Structure 1
Amino acid sequence: MIIYLDLNIFDRIEKIDFLEGSDKDEYLQLLDLISNDNIDLPYSNAHLNDLLRGWKKNPNYINGHLTNIQKLTKDLCICQYWGQKNVWWHKRDIFDFFNSKKDDLDIFDETLDEMFDFGLGNNSPIHLTKKVPLPYEWVSKIKKDKFAQLMFPATIQQSSLYSLFADLYSFQIRLKSDYSFYKVFKAQLSKYISSLKNNKDAINYIRKNDQAPNHLKLDFFSIIDAYKPKSEIKENDNELYYMVIETFYKFDLQGYKTDANFNNMFDDGLHTFYASHCDVFITNDERCKYKAEKTFEKLNINTLVIKSNEIDKISDLIT
């Protein structure tokens, strides 16, 4: 049996000596369960993503976290590497993997200027786009939209193609780093999606393209699926990866058990993807548990999602 643990479970096991009463008994039972020779316990780059955020705040405890995970997993790693069609199951030293991810932190440029500079400064060709104006009508419209004012500040002031590129580049960075901005963006996106329910043209379009019977209630997923960009899955892409992450995010957008932090939400989706390759996913994160269960249900994935105090559901399955 393969069991995938959320980081919150690894963390509690690491602190097991400091737990008391029923909490300690609960995790001692779990530790005994996962120590069974018939249990495989992997870690993933999603765990490392979680740890990197903690390392940025306080690096003093990282070695203890890594040592604990290494001891429990024996360096068994599951990872979806870019350009690979399937996940890799392999042995990889968790310290080595973590350090390689730390090295990658500095490769992302903070601004469009940095990204296209290449040592050329103002002579970089990207600056030619500053001379290309944007349509006056479009700029006038976004000036009146409150969220557009947050999303396109430079565009509104400068009205150039360069400023639009710069705002879009900054936008994707802010979604990951500015929690309040992500919260506003998600609320606005949900508002726009929900508003389509009252649009007769939208409803007819969705029903026509989805071939859904007219008596069926139009739901959140139908709206998103009908209006999302038609992205092409490349030959070397893992289709399951996109399906799980996308489905997980859709449930997050619905607003119930939602996450205000984009990075947390994405990594929970990534944990869910890796858990889909395992028999059991154990997490005490209520938001992640709910969306993982709903994602597996929608995609007909048989992974069982439980909390740490529900191991009786699988104890009898282990011989």
Structure 2
Amino acid sequence: MYRIYLDWNVISQLKSDNKSEIIQELADLLEKNKDNILVPYSTAHILDLLKGSENPNNLHYINRDLDYIDILSNQNCIQNDISTKTTNAYIGSARDLFDQLKENYHPDCLHPDFIEKSFEGTELPNLGKTFTDLWKITPSGIDFTNIDSNEESKRFFDKFYPRTRANNSLYSLMVDSSEFFKAINSNHEIYKSLTDTCRNHLKIDPKVVSNYKDPITGIGEILKTLGNDIDFDKLNAVHSQDENSVLNNHLSKYMAEYTNLDMLGYHPDKLNNKNLFSNFTNDSQHSYFAGFCDFFISFEKKLIKKSNILYKKHSINTLAYTPKEFIDIYRNSFSCAQTWDDLFVEINNIISNAKWQEIMKHTFENSRIFLYHPEAKLLSFFNSLYLKLDANNRHTIYLRYVHKNFSPFVFYYELSMLIQKLTSIFGIDYYALGMFSQKDKDELANRNWQGRYWGINNYLIQLYIDEQTGHFELAFEEITEELKKEYNSKPAPPE
């Protein structure tokens, strides 16, 4: 399916009874193509709603928003897992995730004393104190000699990290960091002061940086003036030991890159009493989670600019647009083959017209392999096509899903809709397994998925996971007598 990630400002207008013309067009597009489009939500959407949840008068509206998210997303969610340093697909109610995050959220959650108290009433009530005692004797790792060589850096640490300067321990660093993040989230002037200091020190003009065709390279040239071989990647503020699962994960690093782009003047946000730093960090999370999708739609042009630069930096194909830009380009782009004839017309058009390359290294003897790059997804799922020709000119067609964004995963919902489409075109599968079910989920979890088989129009059709690459494939193999004997001898999958 095509994954479309919507910024909260777009969702809030979609659910409105008084939609603008462009939002109505977007709503119509999503409804018309609901079998081919997935609109997941993420923890960033829930964090948007948490901001007003302290006021009981807002809960009625928040609950209504959560219900709308469930309808829009079919409860498909993208979440970051700190323990595994991965971002994964989940199925679950937005309301449940909201309750979970609200229960676990606390403004002092980074403070070591809060962490110590969190163990009270558990089976290990003294473990928290063990941690804090250890943190008090562990050095922070900050070299103040180097920091003090720069007057602006010295002033920053004097003001915001006084405990760490007085007692250079990990405990002091955690306390100062907790207080700093609370302060910057509530006072936009702190972030403004930091960005002004940074830009003045580097003599950066945001108007110039914002017009760079390649801002990552342009910023790198500016950073060279600092010496020490500093570039955009080394500027990443969350370099840490591998075991630090909070700092050393993809989400944290991406958020740091987004912040660095902004601080160094690339289409910088203007924070104020309404647009606080917490809004800015939420934008960076939306940008990150959208990177697991095909499209990101937002009204925030500065968010779009920074997102597209980072998507390009990470070599992914996600594209960010305003609603109007998206509608203008993709208004008629999400149709899907409904019949065998339609599907093979699309396949033949790709083989005749799409960009291709011959794969020279492969394991098939006496065969040639050609890779084609379709402009649109076949069956709203497969984005690569391989054609294998053997010595007798007998051909096999492989449709493959290769993730071209951050996402290594496929939603169960996407597989369910794919099998539904295939069943509609090919009929019931050879072993009568039918629609996607809990049995499929269990087999996928145990890495022994049976997939689906069909025999139609002189082709054996197989939907499976390629063992070498882990990619989902749909293979069309011309049926021969030898192939019939091979597959007729195979036992049916267990019930």
Please give the range of the TM-score, normalised by the shorter of the 2 chains: 0.7 to 0.9
Max Rg structure = 2
1:62-101 map, 5 Å: 62-101=62-101
What letter matches 2:12 in structure 1?
Answer: D
How far did residue 137 of structure 1 move? 9.2
Q: Tell me whether 1:225 sits opposite 2:223 in the alignment.
A: no
CA distance in 1, matches of 2:144, 2:245: 42
Q: Write the letter of the residue equivalent to 2:25.
A: Q
Out of 303, 324, 344, which is 1:288 matched to? 303
Pairwise CA distance, 1:251:
1.3
Aligned residues of 1:129 and 1:161 also touching (Cα < 8 A): no
Q: 1:236 to 1:54 in 2, by over 3 A?
A: closer
2-side partners of 1:139 and 1:301: how far apart? 36
Mapped to 2, the partners of 1:67 and 1:75 lie a distance apart of 10
Tell me the SS of whatever aligns to 1:88.
Answer: strand
| 57-66 vs 144-153, which moves further | 144-153
Q: 1:3, 1:279 within 8 Å by CA — same for their partners in 2?
A: yes
Q: Distance in 2 between matches of 1:144 and 1:84?
A: 34
* 1:147 and 1:188 in contact (8 A); partners too: no
Deviation at 1:42, TM superposition (A): 0.3
1:253 aligns with 2:256: no
**Would you say 1:276 and 2:275 are equivalent positions?**
no
Match of 1:317 in 2: 333
Question: For residue 254 of structure 1, what is the amino acid of its counterpart?
Answer: L
- Determine the C-alpha separation between the residues in 2 that align with 1:11 and 1:90: 23
- Cα deviation, residue 186, structure 1: 3.2
Aligned length in residues: 288
Q: Name the structure 1 match of 2:447.
A: none
**TM-score, length basis structure 2:** 0.49
Residue 182 (str. 1) matches residue 185 (str. 2): no
C-alpha distance in structure 1 between counterparts of 2:146 and 2:223, whole Å: 29
5+ long unaligned stretches in structure 1: 197-211
Mapped to 2, the partners of 1:114 and 1:32 lie a distance apart of 48
More strand by share: 2
Match of 1:9 in 2: 10
Letter in 1 for 2:268: T
Report the CA distance shift for 1:300/1:147 in structure 2 as closer, same or farther (over 3 A): same
Distance in 2 (alpha carbons) for counterparts of 1:140 and 1:274: 37
Per the alignment, in what secondary structure is the counterpart of residue 195 of structure 2? helix
* Structure number with higher relative contact order (C-alpha < 8 Å, ≥ 6 residues apart): 1
- In 1, the alpha carbon distance for the partners of 2:265 and 2:65 equals 32
Query: Could you tell me how far apart the structure 1 residues matched to 2:12 and 2:309 are?
Result: 25
Any idea what SS the aligned residue of 2:221 has?
Answer: coil
Residue of structure 1 in register with 2:28 after alignment: 32
1:243 CA displacement: 5.0
Preserved contact between residue 4 and residue 282 of structure 1 (Cα < 8 Å): yes
Q: Identify the match of residue 307 of structure 1 among 322, 325, 331.
A: 322
TM-score (norm 1): 0.73
Amino acid at match of 1:289: I
The offset of 1:68, in angstroms, is: 1.6
For residues 298 and 172 of structure 2, the distance between their equivalents in structure 1, rounded to whole angstroms, comes to 41
Q: Report the equivalent of 1:47.
A: 45
> What is the RMSD computed on CA atoms of the aligned residues?
4.1
